[in-house]
Amino acid sequence: MGSKNILYEVQCLRAIAVGMVFIFHLWPQWLSGGYVGVDVFFVISGFLITGKLTRAAERDGKISLLEFYAGRVRRLLPAATLVLLATFAAMFAFLPSARWEETTAQILASALYVENWALAAKSVDYLSADADPSPVQHYWSLSIEGQFYAVWPLLIIAAIWIAKRFNVSSRPLIIAVVSTVFAVSLAASILLTEQDPGYAYFVTHTRIWELALGGLLALTLHHGQGLPGSMRIGLSVLGLFAILWSAIFYTPSTIFPGLAALVPTLGTAAVIVAGDTRIGGFRRWRAGWLIWLGDRSYSLYLWHWPLILFYNGWQEQIGLVDGIGLVAMAVLLSHISYEYIEQRYRYPNRRSEWLPLAGGLGSIAVSVAAFGVLQYWMVSQGSAGVTFADARYPGPAVLLSGVSSPPNIEPIPPLAVLKRDLPSVYNKCHQNQKRAEPVHCILGNPQGRKTIAVVGDSHAANWIPALERIATENDWRLLTFTKSACAFSRVEVQLKGKPYTSCMEWRENVVESIKANPVDIIFIGQSPYRYIDKEVMARGLRSIWSELSQSGIRIIPIQDTPFMPFQPEECLAKNDSKLCVAPRREVLPPDVFEHASREMNGIRVVDMNDAICGPENCETIVGNMIVWRDRHHLSATYSAALAPYLAKQARLPFPKISKSRIIQPNNAPPG
CATH number at residue 434: 3.40.50.1110
CB contact at 8 A, 646 and 653: no
What pLDDT, on the 0 to 100 scale, is given for residue 6?
46
Report the distance separating Cα 267 and Cα 236, nearest Å.
8
- Measured in whole angstroms, the distance separating CA 470 from the mean position of its chain's CA atoms is 35
Same domain, 353 and 432: no
Same domain, 280 and 179: yes
pLDDT at residue 450 is higher than 80: yes
Same domain, 295 and 360: yes
600-642 pLDDT, tens digit per residue, is 888 999 999 999 999 999 999 999 999 999 999 999 999 999 9
Global pTM value: 0.83
In a domain, 321, yes or no: yes
Answer whether the bond into residue 565 is a cis peptide, omega within 30°: no
Percentage of residues in the chain having pLDDT higher than 90:
60
Same domain, 361 and 429: no
Quote the radius of gyration of the chain (alpha carbons, Å): 29
In a domain, 406, yes or no: no
pLDDT at residue 667 is higher than 90: no
The residues pairing with 498 across neighbouring beta strands, listed in sequence order, are 495
390-435 pLDDT, tens digit per residue, is 889 999 999 998 888 899 898 988 888 888 889 988 878 899 888 8
Q: Confidence band (pLDDT; 50, 70, 90) for 351?
A: low
Same domain, 544 and 466: yes
Burial class (CB in 10 A: 0-12, 13-18, 19+), 316: exposed
Q: Confidence band (pLDDT; 50, 70, 90) for 28?
A: very high
pLDDT at residue 448 is higher than 80: yes
Over range 371-383, report the average pLDDT.
Answer: 68
**Domain enclosing residue 545, as ranges:** 420-566+590-614+633-649
pLDDT at residue 193 is higher than 70: yes
pLDDT at residue 119 is higher than 70: yes
How many domains does the structure of the chain reveal?
2
Compute the C-alpha angle 351/356/362, nearest 5°.
145
N-terminal to C-terminal alpha carbon distance within the chain: 49
Q: Confidence band (pLDDT; 50, 70, 90) for 126?
A: very low
Residue 459 phi/psi, 5-degree rounding, is -75, -25
Residue 280 phi/psi, 5-degree rounding, is 60, -125
In a domain, 308, yes or no: yes
Same domain, 425 and 369: no
Is the Cα dihedral 383, 384, 387, 388 positive or negative? Answer: positive
Q: How far, CA to CA in Å, does 2 sit from each of 8, 48, 228, 275, 646? A: 12, 11, 19, 11, 75
End of a domain among 355, 374, 393? Answer: 374
Same domain, 207 and 349: yes
In a domain, 386, yes or no: no
In a domain, 31, yes or no: yes
140-169 pLDDT, tens digit per residue, is 999 999 999 999 999 999 999 998 888 888
> To the nearest whole number, what is the mean pLDDT of the chain?
87
In a domain, 223, yes or no: yes
In a domain, 221, yes or no: yes
Report helix, strand or coil for 409. coil
The residues pairing with 430 across neighbouring beta strands, listed in sequence order, are 482
Report helix, strand or coil for 558. strand
Same domain, 177 and 323: yes
